[in-house]
Structure 1
Amino acid sequence: MRIIIIRPCCIGDVMMATAALKAIRRHYPEADITFAVGGWSRQAIEFHTDLNHILDTGQAAMPVKRLGGFWNMVSALRLGSYDIAVSLVRSPLMSLAVGLSGIPIRAGISSGWRGFGYTHKAPTSPADVRPEAQIYLDVVAALGINTEGCYVNLPVPPEATAYISDFLTRRGIKGPYLVVNPAGGSNPGMAMHSKRWPPESFAQVADALAKAYGWQVVLLAGPDDSGIVNTVRSQMQAHTTTFIGELSFPQIAALTSQAALYIGNDTGLTHIAAASGAPTVTVFGPSDPARYAPYTPRALALWKSVALDQGGVQQTQQMQWDWTRDGIQPEDALQQIHTFIETPGNTQ
């Protein structure tokens, strides 16, 4: 049995798709499974133990939008001789590409008329406010596969765990630590920096948690995020250790999986942390946690309820968001975080 799962972009969406991957692997333990993913996100998933192969769809967020990319996708699907295609994309062009692939069993999201290329459809609509991971699981369920108990997951390679243990020792991190990622909001699909909680809010919350629980603080971000990390660091009283662009994705998964707690914005690294098994706190602003919160039992979504466009984050990115007016404040956030930490089973 040869199966291909299609979710080109972006890291958060790819992590949400790991719940569907888990259900498929559980149902077909001997299958040869390929994940079609863009170059931006492939390094976050290619080490997953439930996968056999990666099909790199290129750097574009949606590779089928250009004529050359469309036919490249059709050709790759045809050459793979797949028995089943599972498309986790709301795109009529991807639906058409899968429909032209010759793959006999084709499951996908049917949002309005967009699922015409699939033999097995999971109906949804832009107004359907449910977790993205759950919608992906509906696609798998359309194939008659049991999805019960399937959450996002990212097994950490043993070599990454060993590396991080030594790395933390060398950087003076001993005992429980808090990971804070104040960056995010940018990927090949869009840039939405309004999703970032203000640096002073991260600083205030991290200081309070370090004092309350005796945790060391690790500030984590990508190579282009030194500015916001340094701003957070400059406003903190607690000692911090910064990891900016130093770690690979498997190493980030290992780092977060061993953390006492992870706090970040609605961004790819936060979804990696949740999938790695870390107790995860996600700060939401102009994106809806009912849709985009990490799909795992050990996750807390911080959000001040506010009216958002029912079409999802693509429709809210032009919203005039003001964190002081519209967003959750540090005092309310801390109250919810303390309750989360003190609930049995939520922390390491």
Structure 2
Amino acid sequence: MKILVLRGGALGDFLLTLPAVAGLREKWPEAEIEMVVGKKFGELVVGEGAIQAVRPIDQPGLASFYARAGKLDAEWSDYFTEFDLTISYLFDPDEIFFTNWKRAGGTGEYISHDPRNPKEAAWKHLAQPVQRLGGSVGDSRRLFGEKIKGVKKTQKRKPSWVIHAGSGGSKKNWPIQSWVQEMEVLAQKHDFAITWLAGEAELGLEGELPEIWKRGDHACVQNLTLPEVFHQLQSSDLYLGHDSGISHLAGWSGAKCGILFGVTDPAVWSPLGERVKCWSRGGRWPEPGEWAEWVDRMI
């Protein structure tokens, strides 16, 4: 049995799909499972007993499958003939991709599922194809790849907090000045060391942080690889962040998480994880001191 899962989107979209993929792994434990996703995401899941291979979704040639009646890329055409089951989460309302998949000689069963606008928890919505196949939602932690297995906790002088005060969408971000103010309140009661995570979307973060919050016990780190970020999260004592891909990664890692939701709905978009708690007030941001009080109760 050989299975292919196609999934576009950002890191959070990918991670929310993993319970479905884990369900495939649990239903067919001996199957070879491959994914067509963002190239960087493969570093998280490729390994024995997890995902056998990842092909980058931006690899040249796949775009030909989105054009009606065009010339199809030969390499991708050959690739699609290898699988017994293909599950596509690509947006394909006119079935152009599916038609071209068949025209290229795609084999086995093909299931297309629209990932947009879920009316329930997103991970449940994305697991519907697996349930139609007689499977169930799986434990996505069984898909830990070789590059992220075996993280060892190190001795630390102070509790380690990791904060990602960004996301891919600016409307989902609380101002960094508000984060700093709340950390100042929490520092009156708790002793901790903060690692501020910054990626491509937070290039100016270090310049916005007051000097006292990025030296000594505190640090700002930028543009780590996803396995490096995963290790930071899994070894932390507490993670705090917005509705973002990194927050989903934190939940998946098993870290203790406090997620701050503004305009988005945690009933739909909350990260999975037994240690994940979400703050939400129907679209508004916390009043001064409110986030610090909530975090204080959580820890």
Q: Pick the aligned partner of 1:104 from 108, 113, 118.
A: 108
The CA distance in 1 between the partners of 2:231 and 2:97, in whole Å, is 34
Aligned pair partner of 1:242 in 220, 225, 231: 220
Label 1:107 to 1:208 Cα distance change in 2 as closer, same or farther (>3 A): farther
Q: Which has the higher contact order (CA 8 A, sep 6+)?
A: 2
Q: How far apart are residue 334 of structure 1 and its match?
A: 2.8
Q: Do 2:251 and 2:257's aligned partners in 1 also have CA atoms closer than 8 Å?
A: yes
For residues 164-313 of structure 1, the aligned pairs below 5 Å read: 174-185=157-168, 192-222=169-199, 225-234=202-211, 236=213, 239-245=217-223, 247-306=224-283
The two structures have a TM-score, normalised by structure 1, of 0.71
Structure 1 distance, partners of 2:292, 2:71, is 47
**What are the equivalent positions in structure 2 for 1:24-103 lying under 5 Å apart?**
24-39=24-39, 41-46=41-46, 50-58=50-58, 63=63, 66-67=66-67, 71-72=72-73, 75=77, 77-79=79-81, 81-92=82-93, 93-98=96-101, 100=103, 102-103=106-107
Q: Contact (CA 8 Å) 1:152, 1:295: kept in 2 or not?
A: no
| 2:121 is the alignment partner of 1:131 | yes
In structure 2, the CA distance between the partners of 1:150 and 1:96, relative to structure 1 (3 Å rule), is farther
Are the equivalent residues in 1 in contact too, given 2:65–2:101 (CA < 8 A)?
A: no
What is the number of residues matched between the two proteins? 292
Q: State the distance in 2 between where 1:48 and 1:340 align.
A: 36
Unaligned runs of 5+ in 1: 112-124, 186-191, 307-325, 342-348
- Kept in 2, the 8 Å contact 1:88–1:139? The answer is no
Shift of 1:152: 6.3
SS of the aligned residue for 1:201 comes to: helix
> Aligned equivalents of 2:226 and 2:39: distance in 1?
13
TM-score (norm 2): 0.82
What secondary structure, in the 3-state scheme, does the structure 2 residue paired with 1:202 have? helix
The CA distance in 2 between the partners of 1:154 and 1:210, in whole Å, is 37
Residue 11 in 1 paired to residue 11 in 2?
Answer: yes
How far apart in 2 are the matches of 1:6 and 1:219? 32
Q: Per-residue deviation at 1:66?
A: 4.9
CA distance in 1, matches of 2:144, 2:291: 29
Note the C-alpha offset of 1:339. 3.4
* Secondary structure in 1 matching 2:90: coil
Distance in 1 (CA, whole Å) between partners of 2:188 and 2:71 is: 54
Provide the C-alpha distance between the structure 1 equivalents of 2:165 and 2:32, rounded to a whole number of angstroms: 38
Report the residue type matching 2:172 in the other structure: K
Q: Distance in 2 between matches of 1:210 and 1:44?
A: 34
Aligned to 2:286: 328
Correspondence list, 1:110-125, <5 A: none
Alignment RMSD, CA only?
3.4
Task: Read off the aligned partner of 1:244 and give its amino acid letter.
Answer: Q
CA contact (8 A) 1:89 1:109 kept: yes
SS in 2 for 1:213: coil
Q: Residue by residue, what CA displacement relative to the aligned partner does 1:164-200 show, whole Å, maximum 9, x if unpaired?
A: 86xx78xxx5342000011221xxxxxx322211101
Q: Tell me by how many angstroms 1:256 deviates.
A: 0.3
CA spacing shift, 1:340–1:86, aligned 2, 3 Å = farther
Per the alignment, do residues 329 and 253 of structure 1 end up closer, same or farther by CA in structure 2, a change over 3 Å counting? same
* DSSP 3-state at the match of 1:212: coil
- Identical columns (%): 21
Are the counterparts in 2 of residues 205 and 334 from structure 1 also a CA contact under 8 Å? Answer: yes
Judging changes above 3 Å, is the alpha-carbon distance between structure 1 residues 236 and 87 closer, same or farther for their aligned structure 2 residues?
same
Counterpart of 2:21, as a letter, is L
